Amino acid sequence: MSVYDLTGRKALVTGGARGLGAGMAEALARAGAAVVVGDIREDTGKATADALQRSGATAAFVPLDVTDEASWESAVTATIGELGGLDILVNNAGIEISSLVADLDPADVRRMLEVNVLGVALGLKHAFRAMRPGGPAGAGGAVVNISSVAATFPFPGIAGYAATKSAVDRLTRVAALESGKLGYGVRVNCVYPGLVPTEMGARLAEDMATLGLWPSAEAAVGDVIGLTPLGRLGEVSDMADAVVFLASDAARFITGAGLPVDGGMGM
């Protein structure tokens, strides 16, 4: 059996209804995992889970607001009930609100902190409680947090977002250390995606022009490509395959690490 084979694994992907999250759910399912899509977008999330089922995967949808502890508790319970366990969590849900530092809106920063930092922290908490010995799943596993190249490379207009994604990196490393020292059997790693032309990525490029940092969205994208040694934007599959790797036995001796998937932009 291939070390990348996830047959028999049970995964929950937050923000899995669309964009990177949907691609990650699809890649995990293609590798053999049973997948639950967690999201606040019920209609889109159900459609994504239905599409996975039609492709032959075991998949389901659970409503999940990552900022709400009760929502996490019910989503993890539902996932374990649906799949018969849980050994992979992908903390993908996140939001980006562009702003110059001189114009930061406290409400926007608080919202990013709630989703991007608290959401990941609560995911780690409930994954550990479920996966550690004595938990309702109890067989260990892997958590993959989605950070950003913004945590490794300064880029204008996204100070609040970059700060929250840097926090994801630190959460990853502390959680990995605690899991190891306390014998939870859960590996914790993160991915730093580069710019991907999803809905969020396209809006970010438009924001750069709106903020006056580039003359147009196209110019902003062109400069990002120019800063990327591999000479292109990222694709959803680039990020999704990295998540499969970190969730798989191919990464069995990797924990507390951050994997750049950015074409070299942040090196």
In the chain, beta strands by DSSP E? 10-14, 34-39, 59-63, 88-91, 141-146, 186-193, 258-261
Dist. CA 77–CA 34, nearest whole Å = 15
Which residue stretches of 4-145 are H helix? 19-30, 42-54, 69-83, 106-112, 119-131
Q: Is the separation of the CB atoms in 248 and 30 below 8 Å?
A: no
Catalytic residue among 4, 161, 184, 192: 161
Written as six digits, the tokens of 56 are: 């032959």
CB distance 86 to 131 below 8 Å: yes
Q: Which amino acid is at 76?
A: V
Is residue 132 a contact partner of residue 138, using CB atoms and an 8 Å limit? yes
**Alpha-carbon distances of 172 from 30, 39, 259, rounded to whole Å:** 26, 21, 12
Q: Which of 102, 95, 97 is nearest to 14 (CA)?
A: 95
Q: Is 161 a catalytic residue?
A: yes
Name every residue whose Cβ is closer than 8 Å to that of residue 67 and which is 6 or more positions away in sequence.
114, 115, 118, 119, 122
Spatial strand order of the sheet with 186-193 comes to: 59-63, 34-39, 10-14, 88-91, 141-146, 186-193, 258-261
Query: What residues are labeled active site?
Result: 161
